[in-house]
Amino acid sequence: MSAIMKFGGYQKPASIHNRAAAFFGELLEKRLGQAVAFRLIGSILDELGRKSGDLPDMVAAGELAFCYMSTVRFSQAAPELAILELPFVVKDRRAAYAAFDGPFGSLIRRRIRDNSPFRVLGFWDNGFRHLSNSVRPIRKPADCRGLTIRTQMSALHGEAFRALGFEPLAVDIKEFTEKIATGRFQAQDNPLTNIYNFGVHRYQRYITLTGHFFGASLMICSESQYQDWPAEVRAAVDAAAPDATAFQRRLASAEDAEIMAKFAREGVQITELSDAERAAFAAALRPVVDKHRKEFDPELFRALAA
């Protein structure tokens, strides 16, 4: 009988995360043959009625073998991850990938292994985050004042948005997508792929390409479950995870242009900031960065901005 290995996510089938997870499963089945049956539960929100934040707990409990999840959920176990929750720290994707694949990534893997039940299998690209809202075009920090914004479960994100004049409200993506049509949230931030795939653009027609945060997701499994797998299964996972990660990053790098074309066809109003306008956002958020800079090794800032 084949062992069933379930991979959980929280996005739509066409998302780059779920496509990469499916590719990971194909690699496992190709290597292990009938010894394993891979099942992707692409959205536990839709298929199981669960919240996205439940994914790590489901892995820890053995309900899932793998999942992907935003790094904001792991900054308690690996405090260095919180540097990604500071605005305008990551220069570009190349710098982020180099950091994830270098000493920074190795440090995070050790922290997660030592301080949580999980094993990091890959650092996935969750995209540069941009603003959307239902009220008006946002071109300068003053345009943010008074708008209620849905945020990830990150105190640092909330602090940054308050500095811009937003009224932040941290909720799970499940609640956000269920209530976006009600007007409870006037604004939000997400990578372009999520804005489109979650249908946010149907209700929030103004998108500003701020790129204020760079998001990353961890592909994880349970460390204890990993150690219990037969050697050939561990070897297959170790071989497939880097290939799935490289595939996911290729998809992420290409998708922004594809999503922008879809927005254009659907009449979404896109605001592209000039260098000076983007610098105004960075200046407004600099006190938040400066306040927390001492909490991190200066080398981390240099690595992410290389």
- Give the mean pLDDT of 145-166: 96
The pTM assigned to this predicted structure is 0.91
267 burial (CB, 10 Å; 0-12 / 13-18 / 19+) is exposed
pLDDT of residue 306: 59
pLDDT (average), residues 11-29:
95
Q: CA–CA distance from 171 to each of 27, 82, 144, 155, 188 (Å)?
A: 35, 18, 19, 12, 11
User: What's the pLDDT score for residue 100?
Assistant: 97
Residue 3 has pLDDT above 90, yes or no: no
Percent residues over pLDDT 90 in the chain: 89
Predicted local confidence at residue 305, as pLDDT: 85
Residue 88 banded pLDDT, cuts 50, 70, 90: very high
> What is 3-304's CATH number?
3.40.190.170
> Can you tell me the mean pLDDT for 30-38?
93
Half-sphere exposure of 49 (CA within 13 A, CB side): 0
Pairing of strands 148-151, 187-190: parallel
| Cβ partners under 8 Å of residue 238, min gap 6 | none
Alpha carbon distance 120, 238 (integer Å) = 11
**Rounded to an integer, what distance in angstroms lies between the CA atom of residue 252 and that of residue 245?**
11
Instruction: Please check whether residue 152 is in contact with residue 170, taking contact to mean a CB–CB distance below 8 angstroms.
Output: yes
8 Å CB contact between 288 and 163: yes
Mean local confidence (pLDDT), 199-205: 95
The model's pLDDT over 96-135, given as tens digits with 9 standing for 90+, comes to 999 999 999 999 999 999 999 999 999 999 999 999 999 9
Dist. CA 90–CA 187, nearest whole Å: 23
Place of tokens 């990830």: 152
Average pLDDT, the chain: 95
pLDDT at 263 over 80: yes
Confidence bin at 173 (pLDDT 50/70/90): confident
Structure tokens of 56?
A: 């790590």
- Is-contact 174 168, C-beta < 8 A? no
Residue 1 has pLDDT above 60, yes or no: no
Nearest 5°: phi and psi at 77? Answer: -75, -35
